[in-house]
A and B are shown apart, each in its own frame.
Chain A
């Protein structure tokens, strides 16, 4: 009898020890009377987290009935963490998301449309750069950015001076000429230094999509991003231009010294295209004497690609928390916060008036990026990974397998259209 008793106790103990695996891990929040608590999520980046802590302090001082808790997650896990929180119904009130993920999160019902007076499309479009339209779905905005990133041309001043150039190229013809000239080879024809980087797996697929396509005469997609348009002569010309950089003009090659940004840091790349987020890494390299310039124009036309992380409100936020979240969101996307964000984080303001202000538009480092925002487009990505692969594969088929440009671009267009169609089938 005794043994049976102990066996049952043992069994119960074992089972109870297993229950933490099944527990939801809910935190009991101690609520003070009259104080609304909201939670904010963003990915961990030291300067961003610290600035956000300061901003939250100021916001709470100005709004004593609201308390904001910030939670951060490692960048590499962020998307998965957010995605996993959705079906569980637990999550933050205000969340920072990459704009490319918005289509999926909007259709899944994770975010709610911003309906406050501060967020009407008319108001938003009068204050923010036009690229913010990528966060508009079904006539409402679902998220708004504090900061955006765009592309610019990075050039190594020393290497350019060695080649006899005192200024970066203004047009694509100049860029190709200088790139050809500044590329150096060993006696077997292998690159020792590239003149103009052409790395597709970094930012260059954006250059093809939003810059060269438009400069050659076609938008990559139609107005509401449901149709691929670049399988036309302009699109073929754009892809041919890029593949010629490697095949014909020989200004650079894929995977030289890992990628063009690494080569630039090592001083073996004269010019390459990257985003404002590269400034921080490049500044750390002391011997590197570099400058930034607006992307080259073609026939007088300029274009750029911009991306942004935006703040939205989750759909299960309601009542007092919704009011508090809207206040916080409005605060985060105000011009003052954006100015501080630029100074401390190095990301560009999304507010047009601020971005066009003299001291900001002509900033020696950020200027080219900010001026680029005026004519920048943010592609609406339904599956960025698959769409990037489509572009990269098209390039590889041409360069590695000698496929005809038109044939290769047509295949990419079909693949991307399939991605878009699959999204809308749901």
Chain B
């Protein structure tokens, strides 16, 4: 709303100072964030390989190569696998933990600490311990347990079918504390009066959960949905550490798109192609985020 009244000198002064102070981080942000991003967009149309002095313009060649690149599609589908399986499971487990710990009277602090500790542990350390757990017999603990129960040894990280599941197990285990905390905060925000009213009306525990708790946790759920999607789309550390020798699981079965970009850029030194892959990833994340924002906004 434009003010029709002429501003006083003091207000003008304050405005000038404000612009001055804002301009510094804006300049910084432009240079450090936006400039490299636009440079990557530019690189995607070149064949730069770091060590050449010049980057030659090759137009859409990188993108044409991308559309026929088998590995790109494998890594893309791996990334979606991580999101489509990891997200619901981690939110469900987080909610179950929060809901039940909320009902616990004694020792709830202890439970919260135990379930939150994996979240603050370094992902690299988590990845290496889980990697050890998934080893084949005789040193892999999971396999030793399975064998003692009479179940044949599983290949886990060395299997094309199971490698993604193993990565997800470690990821969900380490991240569930965060979902739990967010849901607990949400639960605490629900006024007890609703539950008391429901009790008086003779509602069962399940109905209370369905008609009071879940609807009022919508905001927590939406928050976890958006942050979780971004988190699973960016999966990288655990895959690198858990499949270090095979670089993404046998036959790229566990390789997410981010790892493919990293390998292309820094192992094969193919910066132009890696930039093209990054642009595609950027567009995908942008689309998903926009869709999520549109869907969740309408229902509010």
Contacts and interface: CB of A to CB of B under 8 A. Distances in A.
A255 B131 CA distance: 11
B160 A400 contact: yes
Contacts of A257: 135, 139
B269 A400 contact: no
A115 interface: no
Nearest to A107: B52
B147 to A, nearest CB: 6
Contacts of B49: 104, 108
B250 interface: yes
B267 interface: yes
- Counting chain B CB atoms within 10 Å of each CB, the highest count among A105, A186, A191, A255 belongs to A255
Nearest to B152: A188
Given A3-B13, A254-B158, A255-B158, A190 B51 contact: no
A105 B269 CA distance: 11
B158 A385 contact: no
A383 B268 contact: yes
Interface in B65-87: none
B62 to A, nearest CB: 12
A41 interface: no
Contact of B138 (A86, A190, A254, A259): A190
B53 to A, nearest CB: 6
A422 B297 CA distance: 48
Nearest to B131: A258
A393 B136 contact: no
A253 to B, nearest CB: 8
B225 to A, nearest CB: 35
B196 interface: no
Nearest to A259: B245
B223 interface: no
A87 B268 contact: no
Interface residues on B, range: 35 or more
A192 interface: yes
Contacts of B160: 396, 400-401
Given A87-B52, A188-B152, A257-B135, A400 B268 contact: no
A385 B51 contact: no
Given A11-B20, A190-B153, A108 B53 contact: yes
A119 to B, nearest CB: 23
Interface string B14-58: 001100100010001000000000000000000101111100000
A426 interface: yes
A14 interface: yes
A83 interface: yes
A392 B50 contact: no
Contacts of B16: 7
A256 interface: yes
Given A80-B266, A400-B250, A186 B24 contact: no
Interface in B218-245: 245
Interface in A224-276: 253-259
B127 to A, nearest CB: 14
A104 B269 contact: yes
Contact of B51 (A110, A188, A201, A383): A110
Contact of A201 (B50, B246, B263): B246
A7 B269 contact: no
A182 B139 CA distance: 19
A7 B24 CA distance: 12
A389 interface: yes
Main secondary structure of the interface of B (DSSP, over half): loop
A35 interface: no
B68 to A, nearest CB: 11
- Counting chain A CB atoms within 10 Å of each CB, the highest count among B136, B137, B250, B266 belongs to B250
B165 interface: no
A83 B51 CA distance: 5
A104 B268 CA distance: 10
Nearest to B245: A201
A386 B51 contact: no
B13 A385 contact: no
A170 interface: no
B159 interface: yes
Contacts of B137: 186, 188, 190-191
Contacts of B157: 255
A109 interface: yes
B186 interface: no
B53 A190 contact: no
Interface in A377-409: 383, 385-386, 389, 392-393, 396-397, 400-401
A3 B143 CA distance: 72
A84 interface: yes
Nearest to B55: A87
Contacts of B53: 86-87, 89, 108-109
B263 A385 contact: yes
A255 B245 contact: yes
B159 A191 contact: no
Contacts of B250: 396, 400
B246 A392 contact: yes
Interface in B139-173: 139, 143, 147, 152-153, 157-160
A87 B51 contact: yes
A150 B106 CA distance: 65
Given A11-B20, A201-B245, A255-B136, A108 B52 contact: yes
A184 to B, nearest CB: 11
Contacts of A110: 51
Contacts of A186: 137-138, 147
A83 B270 CA distance: 12
Contacts of A202: 245
Interface in A14-31: 14, 18
A397 B136 contact: no
Given A108-B49, A108-B52, 10 more contacts: A7-B20, A18-B28, A86-B50, A87-B53, A89-B53, A186-B147, A188-B152, A191-B136, A256-B136, A396-B251
Which 9 pairs between the two chains have the least Cβ-Cβ distance? Answer: A385-B267, A108-B51, A86-B51, A83-B50, A190-B137, A201-B245, A396-B250, A108-B52, A83-B51
5 contacts: A86-B52, A190-B147, A191-B137, A257-B135, A392-B246
